[in-house]
Amino acid sequence: MMKKAIVLGATGGVGAPLTVELVKRGVQTVAFGRSKQKLNELAEQLGHSPLLTLEIGDAFKPEDIRRAGAGADVIFHSANIPYNEMESRLLPLGESVMTAAEKLGAKVVVVDGIYPYGRRLMEKATEDHPKKPHTRKGKVRLAYEQLIFSSRWHKAKPLIVRLPDYYGPSAQASYLSVTMEAIAAGKPTAFIGNMSVPREYVYLPDAARMIVEIATREESYGQNWHIPGPGVISGHELVRIAQQAAGKRKAVMPLGRIGLSLIGLFNPVMKEVVEMLYLTEEPLVLSGEKYERLIGPIQWTPHEQAITATMRSLMGKRAREAEDAKRGAATI
């Protein structure tokens, strides 16, 4: 039984819906992050629930996690690293989190992606898919997994959940978030990769529900788990649904290797995306067989409904920000 949890990166794309899901289930939850303002916004979203505690800290400092996570049964590690800093900062972050978990004797749920697998070798990738990364980021992510599951840790009990690309109101660093935010704003935008090739995406509130289901079971630890989406969807179809929900139709251009390389001259994150474009050309689709066999049936929000909800949320946020700016200007 999970009584208390701490979410690292609680204001991030995955961390925010995880925090919401935990509080909804009656778990005493510590939201841990660097920004007091963002943590306060999250608390407001949750109606300042008495189950929620806010803690400001640095996930690179094990003592910060230990202080904030005292008494926690589970550490949800959803803090993320920008693409262009992954090689230098991912392993130190993992080291910090696992050191804190070891001192606390806590379970650790590490949220990660599919990069360690490399190129697709199965029609639907199970958790046993060979890990043969051919990219720098894939190799770093594999070393990260080896660190998490290292025999050095005696008291910490980790598991890794793997997500495909994702979207949702909280998404910030996904391939799709820039596209969706621009559509919500009624601006022309780009779509990273081929728009005709169907790819897998998971809606973050659905992913959060599945992650917490896995985390509540003692036997889940020491393993990798897949968090699949409800079926593949092409960029064209995704954009069509988003534009319909927004009631705005501005141009959306596919962005391939050459376009990304040019943007990468000015944007260090986009420069790093080029290496991962193979996933948009030969998508890797995750199998949910293990989850369904050991946890239970998967309940997904259909893409049409989830994309529409995401767009409405983004548009509502824009309207609130515009209103706040107007009020601020009026008081000057």
CATH of the domain at 296: 3.40.50.720
122 part of a folded domain? yes
Does the residue 21 lie in any domain?
yes
Whether residue 273 is contained in a domain is answered as no
pLDDT at 131: 96
* Mean pLDDT on 246-269: 83
The 10 Å Cβ neighbour count of residue 134 is: 10
> Residue 3: how many CB atoms within 10 A of its CB?
11
Question: In total, how many domains does the chain have?
Answer: 1
Beta strands across the sheet bearing 74-77: 52-56, 28-33, 4-8, 74-77, 107-112, 157-162, 224-226
In a domain, 117, yes or no: yes
Q: Predicted confidence band at 280 (pLDDT cuts at 50, 70, 90)?
A: confident
* Predicted confidence band of residue 297 (pLDDT cuts 50, 70, 90): very high
257 belongs to a structural domain? no
Q: Above 70 in pLDDT, residue 332?
A: no
CB 184 within 8 A of CB 314: yes
Query: In the prediction, which pLDDT does 266 show?
Result: 78
- Residue 331 confidence (pLDDT): 65
Q: Supply the range of the domain harboring residue 134.
A: 4-166+202-229+284-301
Q: What is the mean pLDDT of residues 136-140?
A: 94
Please answer whether residues 5 and 28 qualify as being in contact, where contact means their C-beta atoms are separated by less than 8 angstroms: yes
Is the model's pLDDT at 21 over the cut of 80? yes
In a domain, 312, yes or no: no
pTM, entire model:
0.93
pLDDT digits (tens, 9 = 90+) for 45-84: 999 999 999 999 999 999 999 999 999 999 999 998 888 8
